[in-house]
Structure 1
């Protein structure tokens, strides 16, 4: 007899897990509370432009978990990859381009030219001296080799160390620290004085090892949509517009899920993509050991990104790479300090500015340009006035680099934590889920199997490593294998 499974949510973790389980012979129903798929990884038509619900790029694209699952399911998932992939502004001397293969001729040439012109400045002597003092010459060479490989043992060694602590072993250079703090916020959505060095090393090494950072053709929705195409092909049932109101637990095991439509969906197994906090809430705290409830309540969530979507009448930003991020010219430790202050505003904000139509021109009419400008913030929902001020500051900075954006603007709209919460309904505006910080990663990451028989978590809260949506899909691979 087929085992009945209910999956809650169609984010990349939920949709991938459901498709994998359905393909392995289970009888799977997905409940999606929204009337669209993908959650924070979705795409909508907005005034003639196809616009993502979040600020997205995908660290390893077709080589990573998304591509691996699509290949296992036998579905197409077209990707677009660019080289160079990022334009980084570090000072007034101009833009420094980042290539995906850092040992390639183009990457080495760019590094050399940027060093000569001053577009990037690294205190090489300080870095060498400090690195050798920390490790010795032979030890330093070994450390670099291990870092490039990012073996599980090496990553685990640094799981309980922050990126800031890790970096100070090698250099005190403020330019390096600024850039790495920004990269930590970009990849893990946590400042570098809080983020796990093990997770950071794993993420960065994966990007450069694969060299396939990119976006799915047609927008972020291409990831969950490809998984759900396989899911429905194999006989899975997708129910949109029905939220999971209660996970029914009887005698210490799940028996089903009560939907917002009043129907009870019987289940031998429930897989929740709703996050651990919300999962415990709808299953009922009294269904779990008291110490587990306290453990979950103590878990910390990631920070978030606000965004302005800018639709332009014509292409006015012409860079060699389809994304742009200017590094703030403030002390490294101060870059994101405003996030933790309830009234805080950035003096010089870090901006993440992907230009989706530079990756994929089909997202808008011919000749038009779509730009997304992201500004980091806390995960608090009740900060709307402050959020609007942050975006005002961010836009002013962006327009100072590219004044023609403002003159060619067709329309703009904004995404705040209220919009994120409207999608997730978790009461927070976090981008990722659990923060990838010491104490919450690697062997100390929450196990996807909850202490109720038949109840599992999937997504960024459970069991995997990686960057954003890729972590969620990696979790789906793990959870589906454990269940089957």
Structure 2
């Protein structure tokens, strides 16, 4: 699909990071671009919520793959340093185990020397094994960035590149065995295994289900640095929106798209609530891919119809618990992970045949007030807790101050009690002054998320790289897709790359690497 020489009116559906990034790049390419966001605020899953002096990021909270953000900003004539105040975290994160294991908490610091020293202190010989593991992770990451993530897969040329073919003997085993089996052949201590396996959750999957090629994720938190944009991830959203508007993009909130209009197999624009039609020569949907395909298009024009989704695997759902807490919480780092003793059973609860909310759960806590005093009143803390749960909107809805469904609030109570016990904060529940829960039912209602999932399509082998939904419709010319369920996948950096893939298609650029940056920024 190459429309760059034709009319240049574009409509972007959805103001999440992928939609905003696509709009910004299209504006910089000279397209007359309008973005419609159904909600009253932009950001999508990377949203923000404020109450009583607390400001919570309601979605992504890890700033990884900094070179992807830097590349995106440079494409728009600026840099991450100009747009964001990035702070390195030390420790990168803290890990607590179930108290019944008797295992001590670990502080994980980024950097090869620090990580290998930690592993060696826990398990004799593990430092050298981690060193080799990180060599492999760095090589896989470099290959992914240079050959896989920025490829539109319109041709197989990138896969046939000699640089890829030379690595086939090493790649094949990484694609055919799970991340868990890859890790557990090398390390014995459960904490070390869990540190290396938990990144599967960031990919929307289980370490027993994602291929071991994704051990490359450990290059990011152990080999590289973990950063935080001061002010929270709303600052990233604001920066992208600011750059989009500087490129001439019009951003309209409270504007729900109800249909993508077409004529003779070509996208002609969108229809909004109330029947108003907006013409366009290019439509880019950053809405949930399932919603886009099954709600905004008639069946005959769907590339990914309902029956296609029946054999697909969603990421987990999420129970989010946002807490404003009186007093300090030094027991928690900026990022803290709690790992359940029954590790495999935890993932079976989420992905298995009889899904349920795990208890006790392996969970993640973000305490941004450890780094950023702007997110909480003085002498208070801001906690964002994420519990992976089954992708099922029937689990219920959350609410404010205990106002969600009874089962969701009960699960949140259990999570608060778990944090209190495992992290040594016995009075935690009594110090909570602000509370909000979000559950899979909210993800389904607020974002049109398929099955109420929190992240997008899981990165199983059959849903990664060349097997992942492409960034353009096969049925409708002039209809593109952006976001976590399309190429290249889940996470903020992937959404930025997804936006770039839309532009590459428009340019007719079929190279496997990133678009060339301007000579001077």
- Structure 2: distance between partners of 1:434 and 1:233: 32
8 Å CA contact 1:159–1:441 kept in 2: the answer is no
SS in 2 for 1:245: strand
Alpha-carbon offset, residue 427 of structure 1 = 5.0
In structure 1, the gaps of 5 or more residues are: 116-121, 132-139
Which residue number in structure 1 is paired with residue 149 of structure 2? none
The answer to whether structure 1 residue 326 and structure 2 residue 341 are counterparts is no
| 1:391 paired residue among 406, 412, 417 | 412
Q: 2:199 aligns with which of 183, 194, 197?
A: 183
Aligned to 1:3: 8
What is the TM-score of this pair, normalised by structure 2?
A: 0.80
| 1:52-106 Cα shifts (integer Å, max 9, x gaps) | 223622223xx243333233322612223212110012453422111121x23x4
Correspondences of 1:417-428 after superposition (within 5 Å) = 417-426=440-449, 428=451
Asked if the contact 1:248/1:257 (under 8 Å) is kept, the reply is: yes
Shift of 1:144: 6.0
Aligned pairs, how many?
455
| Superposed CA offset, 1:212-259 (max 9, x none) | x22322222222221110111121111111111001121111011101
Rounded Cα–Cα distance in structure 2 between residues aligned with 1:99 and 1:179: 12
Matched, 1:460 2:493: no
- Tell whether the 8 Å contact from 1:312 to 1:411 is kept in structure 2 after alignment: yes
Distance change >3 Å, CA 142–CA 413, structure 1 → 2: closer
TM-score by length of 1: 0.86
Structure 1 residues 236-385: aligned runs within 5 Å:
236-281=249-294, 282-288=296-302, 294-319=307-332, 321-330=333-342, 332-339=343-350, 340=352, 344-384=356-396, 385=406
1:146 aligns with 2:136: yes
Question: How far apart, CA to CA, are the structure 2 residues paired with 1:210 and 1:343?
Answer: 35
Contact 1:379 1:428 in 2 (8 A): yes
Contact 2:11 2:36 in 1 (8 A): yes
Q: 1:221 to 1:267 in 2, by over 3 A?
A: same
1:408 aligns with 2:392: no
- Does structure 1 conserve the Cα–Cα contact (< 8 Å) formed by 2:356 and 2:389? no
Instruction: After superposition, give the CA deviation of every residue in 1:113-158 in whole Å (9 maximum; x if it has no partner).
Output: 4x2xxxxxx4759x99xx9xxxxxxxx9987633332124469643
CA distance in 2, matches of 1:107, 1:480: 38
Alignment correspondent of 1:118? none
Q: Deviations over 1:330-358 (max 9, x none)?
A: 2x321222224657342321121110111
CA spacing shift, 1:205–1:390, aligned 2, 3 Å? same
Q: Among residues 183, 208, 213, which one is paired with 1:167 in the alignment?
A: 183
Distance in 1 (alpha carbons) for counterparts of 2:193 and 2:252: 47
CA distance change for structure 1 residues 78 and 142 in 2, over 3 Å: closer, same or farther?
A: closer
Confirm or deny: 8 A CA contact 2:416 2:428 kept in the other structure: no
Cα distance, 1:477 vs. partner?
A: 1.8
How do 1:163-242 and structure 2 match up within 5 A?
163-171=179-187, 174-185=190-201, 187-198=202-213, 200-211=214-225, 213-242=226-255
Distance 1:394 1:286, change over 3 A: same
Deviation at 1:8, TM superposition (A): 0.7
What stretches of structure 2 of length at least 5 have no aligned partner?
1-5, 145-163, 397-405, 508-521
Give the aligned CA root-mean-square deviation in angstroms: 2.8
| Aligned equivalents of 1:98, 1:361: Cα separation in 2 | 23
C-alpha distance 86-173 of structure 1, shift in aligned 2 (>3 A): closer
Note if contact 2:182-2:212 (Cα within 8 Å) is conserved in structure 1: yes
Alpha-carbon distance in 1 for matches of 2:274, 2:73:
31
Measure how far apart 1:197 and its partner are. Answer: 2.4
Contact 2:488 2:494 in 1 (8 A): yes
Structure 1 residues 386 and 192: CA distance shift in structure 2, 3 A? farther
**How many angstroms apart in 2 are the aligned matches of 1:208 and 1:302?**
24
- Asked whether the equivalents of residues 316 and 453 of structure 2 are also in contact (C-alpha less than 8 Å), the reply is yes
| DSSP-derived class of the 1:34 partner | coil
Going from structure 1 to structure 2, the CA distance change for 1:347 and 1:298 (only over 3 Å counts) comes to: closer
Question: Per-residue deviation at 1:2?
Answer: 4.7
CA deviation digits over 1:436-481, x for unaligned, max 9?
Answer: 111010221221111111111111122215x522211121122222
What is the Cα deviation at residue 171 of structure 1? 4.9
Distance 1:204 1:179, change over 3 A: closer
